[in-house]
Amino acid sequence: MSNNLWNIDENSPKWAERGENCSADHRAPELAKAYLSIMPDILCFQEMSRHMERLIMEKMPGGRSYQNLPGDGASYEIITGGFTPILFRNDRLRLLESGHRLFPRTDERFPGIFNDSDSKGYTYGVFEARENSCVSAAREAGGGAAGISAAAAASAVGTLAEEGSGAAGVAAASTPAENTMPAEAGIAPDFAKSGAGHKTAYCEKIIVIGTHLWWKSANPEAKSYQEGSDSVRASQLLAINREADRLIHTYNAPCILCGDLNDRLGSPALSAAEAAGWRQAHGRCEPAGRDDRRGYHYCTPSGWRPAEPGRYEDAIDHILIKNPGCMRITGFRRFMEPFFEPLSDHFPVYVNIEL
């Protein structure tokens, strides 16, 4: 599952005037309610402040405020990663490797800042099913598809390119890593080369990368226009692609990339990713289990409006897959219950997979 949480910790004056509350303390219980209704094995967050991180963790299984039910053995652990942490069920999955990278704040090709408040970057985890999980049990039973439920990513950032980035507050801090990468003049050749040569994944492990790409528009007529935005997002995806190829080579496992990519289908960045071997999980899902809604709506410090379904082609929260091997996608969903509308401008998106 992937969700952009909308980074706003304090209530907005506009909301307060209407008798409403968009503070993290008010929203966290309802956000946790949504996640607990699905109980995904892996959740990738964007715009998650440290304060919101503490609030959410307290409400999840294993947290201090969670009321365990009889026979409930679920337990969540977090991979800290600035504004893009990953939450995973450590009762079902064993973490083999993790890391966090920040995208550069500047790009020598273009003027301006391309990483506001150090909120743009990616976090990854490599997971292996524990011996008592359904994946191992299915293998021992002689095959059959076993599930990692709702392995996806919830992304919630501002409505694309119209209301500002929404990123403020906590500076990203995480596992020491390479926090810079060179600017790239062109990305398609490198993407194409890096997608080749992988063995077919055996599906004992899974790699998950959660990210939040630069948010401004490449359209000169847009209010949020910033020169070079398309190229910067493409360079950010290139950095992720290189990390993914390293992990795939090391672990020979399927790789899932999810998050708020701030780009629609057909954009330069997503087109280059496709040339590198990444595929939309939506397109690989069986039609009966596919959600064609857009997944984001107007929810800003000025207020919120009821969501419209929209079109999948206009979605900016994506789940991409590379080196799928024997992985099968049985569901692609967006959690768009009415109670979620004032919680974030982005609805959680998740997939059900079988290994």
Work out the pLDDT band at 355, boundaries 50, 70, 90.
confident
pLDDT for 132 equals: 58
For residue 58, give the nearest of 25, 9, 80 by alpha carbon. 25
pLDDT for 202 equals: 52
Residue identified by tokens 């040569």 is 197
Give me 322's structure tokens. Answer: 């590379």
pLDDT for 272 equals: 87
Query: What is the β-pairing status of strands 154-155 and 2-4?
Result: parallel
- Residues 84 and 71: their CA atoms lie apart, in Å, by 31
pTM of the model: 0.83
Once rounded to an integer, what is the mean pLDDT over residues 122-151? Answer: 58
Once rounded to an integer, what is the mean pLDDT over residues 38-65? Answer: 91
| pLDDT surpasses 90 at 146 | no
- Residues 171 and 139: their CA atoms lie apart, in Å, by 43
Q: Where are the alpha helices (DSSP H) in 205-266?
A: 229-251
- What is the average pLDDT value for the chain, to the nearest integer? 83
Once rounded to an integer, what is the mean pLDDT over residues 285-310? Answer: 96
Summarize pLDDT for 195-211 with one digit per residue, the tens: 444 554 456 899 999 99
Once rounded to an integer, what is the mean pLDDT over residues 18-26? Answer: 98
Percent of the chain with pLDDT over 90: 72
Say which residues have a Cβ less than 8 Å from residue 235's Cβ, sequence separation at least 6: 107, 181, 183, 184, 187
Once rounded to an integer, what is the mean pLDDT over residues 145-163? Answer: 39
- Residues 261 and 212: their CA atoms lie apart, in Å, by 6
pLDDT for 140 equals: 32
pLDDT for 99 equals: 97
Once rounded to an integer, what is the mean pLDDT over residues 215-237? Answer: 96
| pLDDT surpasses 80 at 36 | yes
Percent of the chain with pLDDT over 70: 77
For residue 168, give the nearest of 160, 158, 177, 176 by alpha carbon. 158
| pLDDT surpasses 70 at 171 | no
Q: What Cα–Cα distance (Å) separates residue 129 from each residue in 59, 135, 147, 330?
A: 24, 6, 10, 19
Domains of the chain: 2-354 (3.60.10.10)
| pLDDT surpasses 70 at 255 | yes
Give me 200's structure tokens. Answer: 């077919």
Summarize pLDDT for 53-102 with one digit per residue, the tens: 999 999 998 765 555 544 467 899 999 989 999 999 999 999 999 999 99
Between 81 and 303, the higher pLDDT residue = 303
- Residues 234 and 236: their CA atoms lie apart, in Å, by 5
pLDDT for 187 equals: 34
- Residues 336 and 249: their CA atoms lie apart, in Å, by 37
| pLDDT surpasses 80 at 350 | yes
| pLDDT surpasses 60 at 162 | no
Summarize pLDDT for 321-333 with one digit per residue, the tens: 999 998 999 999 9
- Residues 346 and 307: their CA atoms lie apart, in Å, by 10
